[in-house]
Amino acid sequence: MHCLDCHAQGRTSTAVGVCRDCGAAVCHDHTLVTNRPVRTGSLLGGPAENTARTVRCATCAAARAA
């Protein structure tokens, strides 16, 4: 699979992930990886909080920052 943003620029680059929001394939240069909290466990036993990675393309990352 190739990066959608690189393809739009006339280049070919291997994708390393898929944007969580729009589903576009993204290469290392067009990827923003952030951490997000994930709660697990039951409410009665006390939830635990862990972190998970989120992959976004540059376009979706910019839209979320605005």
Residue 13 CA to residue 43 CA, distance in Å, equals 45
Contact in structure between 40 and 52 (CB atoms under 8 Å): no
Phi and psi torsions of 58, nearest 5°: -60, -35
pLDDT of residue 20: 95
pLDDT of residue 65: 85
pLDDT of residue 49: 83
Cα angle, residue 56 at apex, residues 51 and 48 outer, rounded to 5°:
15
Residue-wise pLDDT for 14-66, tens only, equals: 999 999 999 999 999 999 999 988 888 776 777 788 889 999 999 999 998 87
pTM greater than the 0.85 cutoff: no
